[in-house]
Structure 1
């Protein structure tokens, strides 16, 4: 059986959870701020607090149903420890206040009914219509969209995978190191790893060791990057000496991969509207040893800096701003922070960005549209609309592009229009979508 935390650590978890549950900012940013304000917490203590907070976020809806009608951070955390960590009243004794022993026993008795999708309060009560969504810890709107898109059985498996913590993947910087050598050095340092199933550059670690001070990290030999994200860069597959753009570069994880694939030759633009995100790229770029990356802040997708490059680029990656719902393993708060109106606004933005990026691509050049979303509205619908509006572009089957690099993905032939659709229960990566286009003469 798991052990209960010390009472002081339990109080820290409650306080941090209360901050995060405001849902005003991303959970990881809120936790980082909390830890900065409580420097007395060591690595292990921070690990407990973070894991507890993220576990409650993953299972927030079913935990709320369990503790209703009195929902607060303390009761939610107790419900998590009792029902997910299987701690009974004896194990939790030092944490419990008056009446909470009875609450814990009550929670443990009701958890199985929740998991079966039964109404948590009353089979004829106000929550009965939402029982499946409660059991899967989804808001009603998202459950209904996923159900319509994937079907009940697939949704069950998909959400089960999304509600588990993601593994820690690394991408080896091929400019500085070989994957086997990095794995061997990590093993010497007590960090076990194995090659990722699909990416030839990836390592998947056992556990989640601290890496920010590891010599290999400081030397730029690897970056933390989910295997699915690595595959998006490999789909673009830029060559030596080409002109390439990462149109929505963010903090630059894919930019660094593209630069390494180009062997630090040619010219690679990292465009983004956020000065802060591009600033975060600078230390990573310095570690990487790349000299072909040119970060450029833009005002919008229609910035004159972009227009000057019309028809000149060999390859363009559009990792578009999206709902992020494919990253729920890492960012479970997103399912509570997103809503239907936000999705509609995002699809309009994605369409505008893809149209603007397409203007940069030369004849014969490649354009990749990608998201980390699960939703058809942000994925296939945007790709289909783009093709309908741009007869000068044709779709390129994904399977052949990956096969040329020795990558075989299970289920690729069943993906719509042979596009890339990575899903955690099939590929053990975050969920990603990608469509590939080529500009033809005309």
Structure 2
């Protein structure tokens, strides 16, 4: 594709996203699904530019307003992006906006004036508010400022960079070294071992893992290091009975099966049959099908699951959440999630926590996890749980995994037993994990 044609595609994608406010990944998937003639290299560049417009949403909007430019559509924003971020000259932009087939229409005088005003400027400006500088809605900026204080700009700068591609090596099929050799045989290099997860590898962006022998043979799975760390803190052992109560697509289920060496029983539950169908296929490819049972449940009060009370050695609750810890991969989330959404999610999380606790056997453990950065979904929720449930005691993550990552130091959380991960501190998605053990004390609700 011509450079101008790629720019036109970005404009169309951005305008579609702003009109529908749909998930950005779905917008891209639908766009390319209807245009299979677009090659892989063009798709990567178009996608990267589209996501950069979202990552720079607040600052680009500020600059357009500062310049008195009345339009805030994709065309205006990509012009501002080309000047402020890419440092393109007016002549370069004019070459792309040339009106040729599939290219944007030529620049009009107001756009040329905008380019002149922006030339020599950068995305950042001292006149921008804290919320604009950190690319956050005002309400979310206020909440996260309470948590991170002066560290918030550094935290959000890390969330605003694209994540690399993390892999988990399936020990049921081979070793980390086996996986590296297989990937290198397929022409993939620059493979790193990730810092914390013992079976993790990291690759540059843009690698298509689905065509590799390692993926097809079930030797590797795509999984962020934070999720791998969560699985490690479950501390699954061969022969255990484990409930993955919100299993989704089954990534953590497969990690548990690998840690258990395929010996024991994992019950993977979810309310969406489609997710479990995908989980079933992945389990078969990974060679873990014999120890995993998938089951659709109606909700946390499901009568079949209620009969399993007090049965499991481990209950993993990777609960539905805002997902704001995945901003590196889903930058549009910050503009879609609101305070009302958080309140609704908290109510659901509280119900799941209560239901999951009932399934844990005496001496067993409950693992609560989210990919959220919101204290309401994490610390505040489990602090309420600890007040209500005296038959559970927190287990410090440092005792489960002494050599593992240390929690992000946040106000009021320095001496707490749970784990908070962030891309700024750990190079992972934002993630939260708390572990509790069931004792003989308390009300046993």
| TM, length-normalised to structure 2 | 0.91
- How far apart are residue 374 of structure 1 and its match? 0.8
Structure 2 unaligned blocks of 5 or more: 98-106
Q: Which stretch of the first structure deviates more once superposed, 409-418 or 314-323?
A: 409-418
- How far apart are residue 190 of structure 1 and its match? 2.8
Alignment of 1:261-272 (within 5 A): 261-272=259-270
User: Which residue is equivalent to 1:392?
Assistant: 391
Task: Call closer, same or farther: CA 1:377–1:168 in 2, change over 3 Å.
Answer: same
Deviations 1:309-335 (A, max 9, x none): 100000011011111111100001100
> Across the two proteins, how many residue pairs are aligned to each other?
423
CA contact 1:313–1:360 (8 Å) conserved in 2: yes
Distance 2:143 2:298 in 1: 33
* 2:26 aligned with 1:29: yes
Alignment of 1:97-136 (within 5 A): 97-99=107-109, 100-111=111-122, 115-119=124-128, 131-136=129-134
- How far apart are residue 63 of structure 1 and its match? 1.0
SS of equivalent to 1:301: coil
| TM, length-normalised to structure 1 | 0.92
- How far apart are residue 266 of structure 1 and its match? 1.3
Structure 1 unaligned blocks of 5 or more: 120-130
Distance 2:378 2:407 in 1: 20
Distance 2:125 2:133 in 1: 7
Structure 1 residue corresponding to 2:186, chosen from 186, 189, 198: 189
User: Which residue is equivalent to 1:234?
Assistant: 232
Deviations 1:332-360 (A, max 9, x none): 11000000111111111111101001100
Task: Call closer, same or farther: CA 1:415–1:433 in 2, change over 3 Å.
Answer: farther
Structure 2 residue corresponding to 1:62, chosen from 53, 59, 63: 59
User: Which residue is equivalent to 1:87?
Assistant: 88
CA contact 1:399–1:412 (8 Å) conserved in 2: no
- How far apart are residue 79 of structure 1 and its match? 1.7
User: Which residue is equivalent to 2:102?
Assistant: none
SS of equivalent to 2:261: coil
Distance 1:150 1:278 in 2: 37
Deviations 1:31-85 (A, max 9, x none): 1111101111111111011111111111111111222331101111222222222
Distance 2:126 2:356 in 1: 45
- How far apart are residue 394 of structure 1 and its match? 0.3
- How far apart are residue 105 of structure 1 and its match? 2.8
Task: Call closer, same or farther: CA 1:108–1:319 in 2, change over 3 Å.
Answer: farther
Distance 2:420 2:248 in 1: 22
Structure 2 residue corresponding to 1:157, chosen from 130, 154, 157: 154
User: Which residue is equivalent to 1:122?
Assistant: none
Deviations 1:206-235 (A, max 9, x none): 333111111110111101100011000000
- How far apart are residue 281 of structure 1 and its match? 1.6
Q: Which stretch of the first structure deviates more once superposed, 19-28 or 382-391?
A: 19-28
Alignment of 1:152-301 (within 5 A): 153-191=150-188, 192-290=190-288, 291-301=290-300
Task: Compute the RMSD of aligned alpha carbons.
Answer: 1.8
Q: Which stretch of the first structure deviates more once superposed, 351-360 or 189-198?
A: 189-198
User: Which residue is equivalent to 1:308?
Assistant: 307
Q: Which stretch of the first structure deviates more once superposed, 269-278 or 426-435?
A: 269-278
User: Which residue is equivalent to 1:435?
Assistant: 434
Deviations 1:376-400 (A, max 9, x none): 1110011111111111000000111
Distance 1:223 1:316 in 2: 22
CA contact 2:407–2:418 (8 Å) conserved in 1: no
